[in-house]
Chain A
Amino acid sequence: MKDWIKSGAPWIWMTAGALALSLVMVFGVLWLTAARGLTHFWPAQVAETTFIEKNGSKIRLIGEIREREEVAVRRLVEAGFNIPGDDKFTTRYLIKLGNRDIHGFDFKWYPAPLLGEITYPGDLLTVERREWGNFYGHLQAVKEDGKVVARGAAAMPELEKRVERARALFDEIYRTEKHDIGRINHRLEQLRLQERKLQLQGKLTEAEKQSIERQREAANAEFGQIQERLEQLRREIGRDSLSAEVMDGRVVDVPLAKVADTYHANAMGMAGKIGFYARKLYAFISEDPREANTEGGIFPAIFGTVMMVILMSIMVMPLGVIAAVYMREYAGKGLMIRIIRIAVNNLAGVPSIVYGVFGLGFFIYFLGGNIDALFFPEALPAPTFGSPGILWASLTLAILTLPVVIVATEEGLSRVPLSLREGSLALGATKAETLWRTVLPMTAPAIMTGLILAVARAAGETAPLMLVGVVKLAPNLPLDGYFPYFHLERQFMHLGFHIYDVGFQSPNVEAARPLVYATALLLVIVIVVLNLAAVSLRNRLRENLRGLEGI
Chain B
Amino acid sequence: MQRRLLTDSLFKYLMTFGGISVIIAISLIFFYLVSVAYPLFKPANVEGWQVYAAPGAPGERTLHLSSEEQREIGARFTDNGSVYFFGFLDGKPRGEAKIKLPQGVSITAFAAGDPHQYVVAYGLSDGRVIVAKQNFAMNFDEQGKRVITPQIVYPLGEEPLVIDTSKSPLRKLAIQSAEDEITLAALTAGGRLQVAGITINKNMITGEAELERTGSMLDGVEGEVQDMTIEVKQRELYVVHADRFVSHFDISDKTGPRFVQKKQVVADGENVSALTILSGGFSLIVGSDKGNLGQWFLVRDGNNAYHLTHIRDFKAMPGSITTLAPEYFRKGFLAGDDLGNIGLYYATSQKLLAREPVGKGAVVAAEISPRANGLLVQDAAGRLSAARVENEFPEVSFSSLWQKVWYESYPEPDYVWQSAAATNDFEPKFSLAPLTLGTLKAAFYAMLIATPLALLGAIFTAYFMTPRMRRVAKPSIEIMEALPTVILGFLAGLWLAPLVENNLAGTLLLFPLMPVAVLLGALCWRLLPESLTGRIPHGWEAALLVPVIMPGIWLSFQIGHPVEAYFFGGDMPHWLSNEMGITFEQRNSLVVGIAMGFAVTPTIFSIAEDAIFSVPRHLTTGSLALGATPWQTLKNVVLLTASPGIFSAVMIGMGRAVGETMIVLMATGNTAVMDFSLFTGFRTLSANIGVEMPEAAVGTTHFRLLFVAALVLFVFTFFVNTLAEVVRQRLREKYSSI
Q: Which residues of A contact B (CB under 8 A)?
A: 4, 7-27, 29, 32-33, 69-75, 88-89, 318-320, 322-323, 325-327, 329-331, 340, 342-347, 349-358, 360-362, 365, 399, 402, 406, 430-433, 435-436, 453, 456-457, 459-463, 466-467, 496-497, 499-500, 503-504, 509, 513, 516, 520, 523-524, 527-528, 530-532, 535
Contacts and interface: CB of A to CB of B under 8 A. Distances in A.
Contact of B16 (A70, A326, A340, A528): A326
Interface string B708-734: 001001100110111001100100000
B521 A29 contact: no
Contacts of A504: 490, 493-494, 666
Contact of A22 (B453, B526, B720, B722): B453
Contact of B29 (A18, A325, A399): A399
A29 B491 contact: yes
Contact of A344 (B26, B522, B601): B26
Interface string B4-35: 11011011101110111011011111001100
B624 interface: no
A499 B457 CA distance: 31
Nearest to B693: A467
Nearest to B510: A21
B487 A457 contact: no
Given A18-B460, A463-B686, A496-B487, 10 more contacts: A15-B456, A19-B456, A19-B465, A88-B561, A88-B570, A350-B29, A354-B659, A453-B482, A463-B661, A527-B484
Contacts of A353: 659, 661, 686, 689-690, 710, 713
What are the 10 closest A-B residue pairs judged by CB atoms, nearest first?
A: A326-B19, A351-B659, A8-B631, A460-B484, A17-B518, A18-B456, A88-B565, A432-B11, A16-B541, A322-B18
B561 A351 contact: no
Given A11-B631, A72-B571, A531 B658 contact: no
Nearest to B601: A22
Contact of B12 (A25, A73, A330, A354): A330
A433 B8 contact: yes
A342 B483 contact: no
A74 B502 CA distance: 12
Contact of B666 (A14, A73, A89, A503): A503
Nearest to B26: A347
B542 interface: yes
Given A7-B629, A75-B571, A357-B710, A516 B690 contact: no
B380 interface: no
Interface in B476-498: 476-477, 479-480, 482-491, 493-495
B519 to A, nearest CB: 6
A349 B652 contact: yes
Nearest to A16: B541
A346 B484 contact: no
Which of B484, B598, B661 has most A Cβ within 10 Å?
B484
Interface of B: 4-5, 7-8, 10-12, 14-16, 18-20, 22-23, 25-29, 32-33, 36, 452-457, 459-461, 464-465, 473, 475-477, 479-480, 482-491, 493-495, 502, 514-515, 517-519, 521-522, 526, 541-546, 548-550, 553, 561-562, 564-565, 569-571, 574, 598, 601, 605, 629-632, 634-635, 652, 655-656, 658-662, 665-666, 686, 689-690, 693-694, 698, 706-707, 710, 713-714, 717-718, 720-722, 725-726, 729
A71 B690 contact: no
Contacts of A430: 4-5, 7-8
A351 B713 contact: yes
A499 B493 CA distance: 12
Contacts of B526: 4, 9
B722 A346 contact: yes
Contacts of A346: 717-718, 721-722, 725
Contact of A357 (B27, B476, B634, B707): B707
B29 A72 contact: no
Given A8-B631, A527-B484, A354 B565 contact: no
A531 to B, nearest CB: 5
Given A319-B22, A346-B721, A19 B571 contact: no
B571 A361 contact: no
Which of B20, B483, B514, B515 has most A Cβ within 10 Å?
B483
B522 A9 contact: yes
B545 A16 contact: yes
Q: From DSSP, what is the main secondary structure of chain B's interface residues?
A: helix
Q: From DSSP, what is the main secondary structure of chain A's interface residues?
A: helix
A4 B629 CA distance: 11
11 contacts: A7-B629, A12-B460, A15-B464, A19-B465, A72-B574, A325-B19, A346-B721, A356-B690, A467-B689, A497-B486, A520-B490
A15 to B, nearest CB: 4
A275 B519 CA distance: 49
A503 B496 CA distance: 14
A456 B632 CA distance: 41
A353 B694 CA distance: 12
Contact of B490 (A11, A22, A356, A503): A503
Contacts of A535: 475
A385 to B, nearest CB: 15
Given A349-B717, A353-B661, A14 B23 contact: no
A406 B694 CA distance: 31
A399 B25 contact: yes
Nearest to A460: B484
Given A15-B459, A352-B661, A432 B7 contact: yes
B721 A500 contact: no
Contacts of A350: 29, 659, 713-714, 717-718, 721
Contacts of A503: 490, 493-494, 666
Contacts of B23: 323, 340, 344
A515 B598 CA distance: 24
A439 to B, nearest CB: 12
Contacts of B452: 18
B642 to A, nearest CB: 14
Contact of A356 (B454, B545, B549, B693): B693
